[in-house]
Amino acid sequence: MTSIRHHIPEDILASYVSGSLSYAFSLIVASHISLCKDCRARLETHEAVGGGLLEATKPAPVSADLLDNVLGALDAPFEAPRTFARQGPLPGPVVEALGGKPPVWRSLGMGIGQCVLQRSKNQSVRLLSIPPGQAVPDHGHRGLELTLVLKGAFSDETGHFGVGDLEVADEHLEHTPMALEGETCICLAATDARLKFNAFVPRMLQPVLGI
Amino acid sequence: LDAVSEQTLWLMAVRDRQDRQAFVNLFDYFAPRLKGMFIKSGLSAARAEDIIQDTMLNVWRKAHLFDPHRAQATSWIYRIARNRHIDVLRRENRPLPEELKIEDQPAEDASQIVALEMETEKLRSALMRLRPEQRELVEKAYLGELSHSDIQAETGLPLGTIKSRIRLGMERLRHEMKANTAS
Ligand SMILES: [Zn+2]
Ligand SMILES: [Zn+2]
């Protein structure tokens, strides 16, 4: 396992902890934590604070029958919710988002493939597969874009990103991520706004591709 | 394991022997606190009790995943309750990280468990020492009513040491996993 150098920024982790982060970004956070024991420890630290607050909360009496209801249900048969284990480079949360099935890639041209996991008006999250040495067209951002490397590596104007690394891009960054030679790069990418492509062709294709 | 909180010991008894009395102890301790917490966050008593029922059932069903080297019972139960709470509020299943699980629990390392208890205790007393308005801020952030930009900077809570404790617990788990697969 490579060592991870780019982690979840504190404000994003905190929004995840408090439940205010969108589905798309939550999927990125949960996937990074599945790969990164540092950020898992940070998450569990937040939970220790939460536990401290819970312990200090003034108790409110519960209904007399609540305990009996719970005890009565302990032995009732139940269907354990399906859990999703890692599949190759895909961490459990991504496998869950795919419903346990392998990704179906659609071509974006230039050998780049995508598999949309969720898309709505305000957010989207997708898998991208970029052939070795291939660049994603140069673009800027209208909002926040989080990219988590699952396989291979890419580099752009800001640095080098290997397996487990998370890149945070916002309005201030324009970049041309390029997959490193040697191995196909698979990323999980989430945005809360459409990207701004500088070249005409990707801009024209944008509505079709839904990026 | 003298220094270990009774809540953590109860949860270990549920995990290891499906001990019902220990489970009732956990319920008696946590259900009213969870209700207090949920009511503070604006839930009705009835909805709060629905989530408490789900939470306590999950405590019973997921007890095999509890690792006292990484969390006290209180933190672990808080996590289950909060995840359920968030899913109910958002009406969707929020993505959660993979669980770290191991087929055979490695032998307990009492010194690691006790060290984590002590760090957590320090955190608790730091929480108690906060000025009331600061603590309210922290509470609101953890109930999702406030974005918590830099609680640590504002309140000086000692999160660094407890984080390295938890990491140590995970390292240990990783080593045990290696040893298990090697044998
Ligand atoms: Zn990390
Ligand atoms: Zn970008």
pLDDT-based confidence at A164, cuts 50/70/90? very high
- Give pLDDT tens digits for B57-72: 999 999 999 999 989 9
* Out of A17-31, A185-199, B44-58, B143-157, least confident range: B143-157
Length of chain B: 183
Structure tokens given for A28: 């990125």
d(C-alpha A57, C-alpha A73), whole Å: 27
Number of H helices, E strands in chain B: 8, 0
- Give pLDDT tens digits for B70-100: 899 999 999 999 999 988 888 888 899 998 8
**Considering only residues 16 to 45 of chain B, which have any Cβ-Cβ distance to chain A shorter than 8 Å?**
20, 23-24, 27-28, 30-37, 39-40, 45
Structural domains for chain B:
6-182 (1.10.1740.10)
A153 vs A207 pLDDT, higher one: A153
On chain B, the residues whose CB falls within 8 A of the CB of A83 are 99
Rounded to the nearest angstrom, the gap between the alpha carbon of residue A145 and the centroid of all alpha carbons in its chain is 10
- Check which CATH number belongs to the domain holding A81 and give it: 2.60.120.10
Q: Taking residues A8-22, report their average pLDDT.
A: 82
- Residue range of the domain that includes A60: 1-211
Q: Taking residues A120-138, report their average pLDDT.
A: 91
| Candidates A15, A59, A80; nearest CB to B33 | A59
Look at residue B18 and tell me whether its pLDDT is greater than 60: yes
Q: What is the pLDDT of residue B175?
A: 55
Look at residue B101 and tell me whether its pLDDT is greater than 90: no
Integer angstrom CA distances of residue A211 from A129, A166, A177, A186: 14, 19, 15, 16
* Out of A149-163, B8-22, B140-154, least confident range: B140-154
Contacts of B63 (CB under 8 A, 6+ apart): B11, B14, B15
Q: Is the minimum CB–CB distance between A77 and chain B shorter than 8 Å?
A: no
C-alpha neighbours within 13 Å on the C-beta side of residue B178: 6
> In chain A, whose CA is at the least distance from the CA of B120?
A48
Q: Taking residues A39-67, report their average pLDDT.
A: 92
| Candidates B75, B124, B147; nearest CB to A14 | B147
Q: Is the minimum CB–CB distance between B10 and chain A shorter than 8 Å?
A: no
Of A29, A27, A24, A23, residue with least CA distance to A10: A29
| Candidates A19, A55, A74; nearest CB to B90 | A19
ipTM at complex level: 0.86
Q: Taking residues A102-121, report their average pLDDT.
A: 92
> What residues pack around ion ligand 2 (CB closer than 5 A)?
A 145, 169
Radius of gyration of chain A (CA): 20
B122 vs A4 pLDDT, higher one: A4
pLDDT-based confidence at A120, cuts 50/70/90? confident
The number of folded domains in chain A is 1
Look at residue B169 and tell me whether its pLDDT is greater than 70: no
pLDDT-based confidence at B159, cuts 50/70/90? low
Look at residue A211 and tell me whether its pLDDT is greater than 60: no
Q: What are phi and psi of A114, to 5 degrees?
A: -135, 155
Q: Taking residues A131-143, report their average pLDDT.
A: 88
Look at residue A203 and tell me whether its pLDDT is greater than 80: no
